[in-house]
Amino acid sequence: MIGLVALFLVLSALIGMRDAKRADEKEKAKLLSQFGKRGNKEYPDGRYAQICAYWKRHPGVFGIDDITWNDLDLDLLFRSMDATCSSAGEEYLYRLLRSPQTDGKSLCSEEGMRWWASHDKERVRVQRLLQIPGRSSKYSVYDYLDICGNLKDRSPLEDLPAIVLP
């Protein structure tokens, strides 16, 4: 009986590892095939309103004002470009569009884009790492970090009564 249980556990582990490897390969293939394609994301209710949070806190030297942004329908441009892997990526892309760089030293230089386009392995590895934090449906990542930075230092012992007492 113990042998059957052990066999079942081993088979279950092997099947789980096989399925995880297949899912990993499928995700890598998806990232490879989507590179350079238009963004086609759905934004949960309230998320699109939070994407501008990083830009509002770090507007840059030169920024595109709301009237110009709306007149040029740059929301449509943002949505078509947004193929980011995380909420932080969405917010940073929005900031790049709202605060264009004219010095040629930005992360989006032509040389940098060519490098990423020609180095699939490195690009997919970085994209996989950027997927780990994932997406927040409601809050700005940068607002959350600011809130965490403003928390006061306190002793863990302050929570002890709530943990110990029923």
Domain assignment present for 141: yes
Half-sphere exposure at residue 44, Cβ-oriented, CA atoms within 13 angstroms: 9
Q: What is the pLDDT of residues 17-27, one digit of tens each?
A: 999 999 989 98
> Average pLDDT over the chain, rounded to whole?
82
Domain assignment present for 22: no
**Distance (Å, whole) CA 108 – CA 97:** 11
Helices (H), the chain: 2-34, 47-50, 53-57, 66-71, 74-81, 87-98, 110-118, 120-131, 141-149, 160-164
Domain assignment present for 122: yes
Domain assignment present for 26: no
Domain assignment present for 154: no
Task: Say if residue 95 is exposed, middle or buried (CB neighbours under 10 Å; 0-12, 13-18, 19+).
Answer: buried
Q: What is the pLDDT of residues 146-156, one digit of tens each?
A: 777 776 777 77
Query: Which residues constitute the domain of residue 70?
Result: 40-147
Tokens representing 164 are 């110990």
Tokens representing 26 are 């499928």
**Distance (Å, whole) CA 15 – CA 72:** 52
Q: What is the pLDDT of residues 112-139, one digit of tens each?
A: 888 888 999 998 998 888 888 777 666 7
Q: Are 34 and 83 in contact (CB under 8 A)?
A: yes
Domain assignment present for 75: yes
Domain assignment present for 62: yes
Domain assignment present for 158: no
Number of domains forming the structure of the chain: 1
Q: What is the pLDDT of residues 48-98, one digit of tens each?
A: 778 888 888 887 778 898 899 999 999 889 988 888 888 888 888 898 899
Q: What is the pLDDT of residues 21-60, one digit of tens each?
A: 999 899 888 888 888 777 778 777 777 778 888 888 887 7
Flag whether pLDDT at 11 surpasses 80.
yes
Angle at 47 between CA 44 and CA 49, to 5 degrees: 135
Listing DSSP states for 82-94 in one string gives ---SSHHHHHHHH
